[in-house]
Amino acid sequence: MPSVAIVVAALMWIMLLFMFNNDTKPEAVVADPALSAVIQKEWPTTGKAIFANAGCAGCHGANGQGGVGPKLAGDANIAGDHALVVTRILKGKAPMPAYGKDYGGALKDNEVYAVANYVLNSWGNKSTDLVTPATLAEGAGKVGPDIIRVRSRFVPAEINLPEIFLVTFIMLLLTYGIIGLYSHWAEGAELKPGIHKVRSTPMVMVAMIASLSGVLLFSVLFVKQILAGIAGMNASPPLPPQVTAEGFYAAMVVLLLALVLGIYKKYFMDGEVVVEDAGGEFPW
């Protein structure tokens, strides 16, 4: 049953990712030549005015230096994903509100593209192409691996109540499955009352030493990565922290510590198993 629980949890997680498919995939773009012509003509003035007066500057700073909202100046990442910039302005993302007219905002399509181009071409940002519906439609099938990684994020951007229940159930299944498999491995399929003596072997000693060495190695790498991230934040220009590497090193430390505890439980620690008495109670 623990194995079945883990398989069911994996299937449910795949279902959960499909539920967020519409949020992670690029939307279809209709290229309107007239709209593209308007955008090319008015983005320097209209985009600047909208950024200054529509609330953008209040959060991101008058010069894109950041504030309540993230920093936009000198950001090479946004220059590589025009669709994401336009989508953020259209739909918003908490705490940023949606500005697109179809999503409850006040900006027309040409105004959305105007402010997107202003952001992509100001404060050290330099977009290779002017962003129009035509360029988005042309680049829809040419999304790079970095953008795919962002859009296929492990944790969806928005989680509502039904998804919270589903994620909770998945975590319960995984917890039951992992503990069940561990118990079967560490204690056996059948528990017999009495003291269970355990003895290690040379291979077990090698596994324990290797696991402890791995904990030490990844701990050092984690600390070094954190220090590099702090140094990068204080550099000029600032460098973003390598969150993926930090998370990987931290996860390896946790997993190897769990392996060390499991090996110790099975091969180094004697165990005592009790049995019910005649009245059906467990002696304490």
Claim to verify: residue 204 and residue 263 sit in the same structural domain: yes
Beta bridge partners of 272: 195
Claim to verify: residue 204 and residue 141 sit in the same structural domain: no
Residue type, 13: W
Claim to verify: residue 198 and residue 281 sit in the same structural domain: yes
Question: What is the chain's pLDDT, residue by residue, as a tens digit (284 residues)?
Answer: 888 888 888 888 887 777 665 554 445 556 667 777 788 788 888 888 888 887 888 888 888 888 888 888 887 767 777 777 888 888 887 678 888 887 788 888 888 888 888 888 888 888 777 777 777 766 554 444 444 444 444 455 555 677 778 888 888 998 889 888 888 887 777 766 777 777 788 999 999 999 999 999 999 999 999 998 888 877 777 677 787 888 899 999 999 998 999 898 888 887 776 665 566 555 54
Looking at residue 40, what is its pLDDT?
79
Claim to verify: residue 102 and residue 46 sit in the same structural domain: yes
Claim to verify: residue 81 and residue 143 sit in the same structural domain: yes
Looking at residue 144, what is its pLDDT?
47
Question: How big is the chain by its Cα radius of gyration, in Å?
Answer: 27
Instruction: Look at residue 246 and tell me if it is in a domain.
Output: yes
Claim to verify: residue 68 and residue 138 sit in the same structural domain: yes
Residue 237, domain extent = 193-284
Looking at residue 209, what is its pLDDT?
95
Instruction: Look at residue 112 and tell me if it is in a domain.
Output: yes
Residue that is last in its domain, among 151, 178, 201: 151
pTM of the model: 0.45
Residue type, 141: G
User: Cis omega before residue 241 (within 30°)?
Assistant: no
Looking at residue 83, what is its pLDDT?
76
**CATH number of the CATH domain containing 110:** 1.10.760.10
Claim to verify: residue 35 and residue 134 sit in the same structural domain: yes
Claim to verify: residue 202 and residue 124 sit in the same structural domain: no
Residue type, 80: G
Claim to verify: residue 139 and residue 242 sit in the same structural domain: no
Instruction: Look at residue 10 and tell me if it is in a domain.
Output: no
Claim to verify: residue 229 and residue 132 sit in the same structural domain: no
Looking at residue 145, what is its pLDDT?
44
Residue that is last in its domain, among 151, 178, 207: 151
**Domain total in the chain:** 2
Residue that is last in its domain, among 97, 124, 151: 151
CA dist list (Å): 223 to 126, 172, 195, 218, 255: 35, 32, 42, 9, 17
Looking at residue 21, what is its pLDDT?
56
Instruction: Look at residue 186 and tell me if it is in a domain.
Output: no
Claim to verify: residue 43 and residue 129 sit in the same structural domain: yes
Instruction: Look at residue 162 and tell me if it is in a domain.
Output: no
Cβ 113 vs Cβ 42: under 8 Å: no
Claim to verify: residue 66 and residue 140 sit in the same structural domain: yes
Instruction: Look at residue 81 and tell me if it is in a domain.
Output: yes
